[in-house]
Chains A and B, each alone.
Chain A
Amino acid sequence: MAFYLPIAEMSANLLVLLAMGAAVGFLSGMFGVGGGFLITPLLIFYNIPPAVAVATGANQIVASSVSGVLSHIKRKGVDFKLGTVLLLGGVAGSMVGIWIYTKLLAMGQLDLIISVLYVVFLGAVGGLMLNESLRAMRRAKAGTPQSLRRPGQHNWVHKLPFKMRFKQSRLYVSVIPVLLLGAVIGMLASIMGVGGGFIMVPAMIYLLKVPTNVVIGTSLFQIIFVAAFTTVVQAVTNQTVDVVLALLLMIGGVAGAQYGAKVGQRMRGDQLRALLALLVLAVALRLGYALFVAPDDLYTLGPAALS
């Protein structure tokens, strides 16, 4: 069933888009990530112009994150204070990101940079998570108590000044790394069209040592606003948000997310992290492979550089 997308200016299959949204929504509900790192590459594989895919992906993430965060609020899995501090950094970062995005678009290197960022970050995050989760699984098998959070154990992050107490997360930590983390993720998010959950979740677990049960909710909470901000700014500066495409993805996505969340709750944390890591690595490999394969068309035509 062909459906015309007014901003992407092309016809796409309605069922494919709904299914794409549902599949990504399912995974996002299961792993507590916005799913942007999946939806944006999927849209690009589906021949949606990358600029539209990035901006529209951000809009879709808002919906799936709202849907996800509501179920986490019910379980008291959201640290609003920590989320707000992350958000402040995130908004600043995404302003920088959109400025870079516009420059890259004019230079004609946007596609390359988006792909490289995906490969680097997905590869690193996926590798780290896989390594950690496999060790946790091995420990669980050996019978040693598994806990990511070992009280009294501090890393360099905890030696910085301007400390702040985050009750819900049982955390007393400097605001500098929190703001910085928010800013870096906000910047990447706006360039890559992702909410940044796949970086935020491991960073909160491993860097800030936030307890796993509040990580997902808090990450989703701040992603809502970063993605919403990115959507609005993209709509204003680049006019690349395709609301019809976004709505179709959202409808599939929110349905999938609730089912995914249910499945996710039944699984063990280390298994869940290992699976997420494999998924992230698979996307990284696919995108990395594409960088080295000769493109179908060596020549492309695009709008004249804004100068």
Chain B
Amino acid sequence: MMRLLLTTYVVLGALWAVPAVAQESAPAAPAAVEAPAEPLPPPPVAVEPQRLPERIEIGLSKETVEITSNFSGEALTIFGAVDNADPLIQRQGRYDIFLILEGPTADLVARRKGRVFGVWMTVENQPFDNLPLSYLIASTRLPQDITNLNALARLSLGVGQIRIQPDRDKPQSPQLDEFIAQVRALKERTGLYAEFTSGVRFVSQSLFRAELRLPTNVPLGNHRARAYLFRSGELVAQTEAPLRIAKAGLEFQISAFARNQSLAYGLLSVLAAFVIGWLGRILFRRD
């Protein structure tokens, strides 16, 4: 965790610093060295100065989303910038961005109910490893309009591309595919896997904003925001940043207390019940 944070800060820091310097030194020596690496079609007219490769960066407005007692979902806006964008490509709208907020993963068991003597009960279990508890993706356009299926699958871009892997150590259901499809559908119904097509919009030449909606039941823990920049269907840059979603204030303290000092928590719950029962008798007695 610490390492991830650190690298992100370093990367972000470096990115912020780069553009200003890069613009000035663009036509100078470094660009010339890089020229052969980028096979551009021969410029039709005048010699265009060689461009530095594009970079994408994102900045989260806050590092922690706090869930308090009146939390009922929340819109999350993530701003970002594309550095060294080619104005021509930009004008043609051939830059596309994916922004994904992926929740923590967990080992879960999917259960299928079936009819046994008329009664509905669990008839089959299928354990899954490292299932993302939430996955929210925003993009500039429909994912399949941005790039090919291979790239979408490789980077797991889109709810349909989330990797859902069965537990290899346990027996697998013969209907594994059906289980996987149902897990995906279940998560979609609860708003935990969601696609926000055209949730990413350019607000200027290089700045963009991505809007996601955190559902009421958003999982707590360390989330990861990933951003991918595509130029004419090719991945050219990517970055990521951590986001923590945590219970705040009293809620956080209560759940931490329940976990860490469960016996004291249980005893206090009972004590509270005694006190309230007794107070109720005194305040509301009707005999």
Q: Which residues of A contact B (CB under 8 A)?
A: 2-4, 6-7, 9-11, 59-60, 62-67, 70-71, 74, 108-109, 112, 116, 228, 231-236, 239, 241, 243-244, 246-247, 250-251, 253-255, 257-259, 261-262, 265, 291-295, 297-305
Contact between A300 and B251 (Cβ–Cβ < 8 Å)?
no
Interface of chain B residues 265 through 287 with chain A (CB within 8 A): 265-270, 272-274, 276-281, 283-287
Chain A residues contacting B110 (CB-CB under 8 Å) are 299-301
B269–A298 touching, CB < 8 Å:
no
Given contacts A62-B274, A259-B286, contact A7 B255 (CB under 8 A): yes
Enumerate chain A residues within 8 angstroms of B108, measured Cβ to Cβ. 301-304
Whether A3 lies near B69 (C-beta < 8 A) is yes
Interface residues of B (CB under 8 A from A): 67-72, 106-115, 118-122, 125, 127, 131, 167, 179, 182-183, 185-187, 189, 216-217, 220, 247, 250-252, 254-255, 258-259, 262-263, 265-270, 272-274, 276-281, 283-287
The answer to whether A6 and B274 have CB atoms under 8 Å apart is: no
Interface centre among A4, A70, A116 (most CB of B within 10 A): A4
A303 to B, closest residue via Cβ: B108
Q: How far is the CB of B137 from chain A (nearest CB, A)?
A: 20
Partner of B284, one of A108, A228, A255: A255
- Measured between beta carbons, the chain A residues less than 8 angstroms from B71 are 2, 4, 11
A299 touching B276, Cβ below 8 Å = no
| Chain B residues with CB under 8 A of A298 | 112-114, 182
* Complex partner residue of B281 from A62, A67, A108, A293, CB under 8 angstroms: A67
Residues of chain B within 8 A (CB-CB) of A246 are 269, 272-273
Residues of chain B within 8 A of A108, CB atoms compared: 109, 111, 122, 125
Given A3-B69, A261-B286, A299-B111, verify A66-B278 contact (CB < 8 Å): yes
Q: In angstroms, how far is the closest chain A Cβ from the Cβ of B169?
A: 10
CB-nearest residue of chain B relative to A299?
Answer: B182
In the complex, A51→B65 CA distance in Å?
27
Q: Are A303 and B106 in contact (CB under 8 A)?
A: yes
Which residues of B sit under 8 angstroms from A254, Cβ to Cβ? Answer: 276-277, 279-281, 284
CB distance from A103 to the nearest CB of B (A): 14
Besides A6-B247, A297-B189, A302-B109, 18 more A-B contacts (Cβ < 8 Å) are A6-B258, A7-B254, A66-B277, A232-B263, A233-B266, A236-B263, A241-B266, A244-B69, A244-B251, A246-B272, A247-B272, A251-B276, A255-B280, A261-B286, A295-B120, A299-B186, A300-B113, A304-B106
Residues of A close to B277: CB separation below 8 A? 62-67, 70, 250, 254
In the bound complex, CA of A233 to CA of B267 (Å): 9
Contact A4:B269 (CB < 8 A) given known A239-B258, A292-B120: no
Kindly name the residue among A3, A235, A257 whose own CB sees the greatest number of chain B CB atoms within 10 A.
A235
Q: How far is the CB of B255 from chain A (nearest CB, A)?
A: 4
Query: 19 A–B contact pairs at CB < 8 A?
Result: A2-B71, A4-B68, A66-B276, A67-B280, A67-B281, A231-B273, A232-B263, A232-B269, A236-B263, A254-B276, A258-B280, A258-B287, A262-B287, A291-B120, A298-B182, A299-B112, A301-B131, A304-B107, A305-B125
User: How far apart sit A291 and B122, CA to CA, in the bound complex (Å)?
Assistant: 12
Asked if A235 meets B186 with Cβ closer than 8 Å, knowing A112-B122, A305-B127, the reply is no
Measured between beta carbons, the chain B residues less than 8 angstroms from A303 are 106-109
> How far apart are B236's CB and chain A's nearest CB, in angstroms?
36
Contact at A231–B266, with CB atoms within 8 Å?
yes
Which residues on A sit within 8 Å (CB–CB) of B259?
239
Q: A261-B286, A292-B120 are in contact. Are A10 and B216 (CB under 8 A)?
A: yes
A59 lies within 8 A of B269 (CB): yes
B179 partner, pick from A63, A74, A291, A299, beta carbons under 8 A: A299
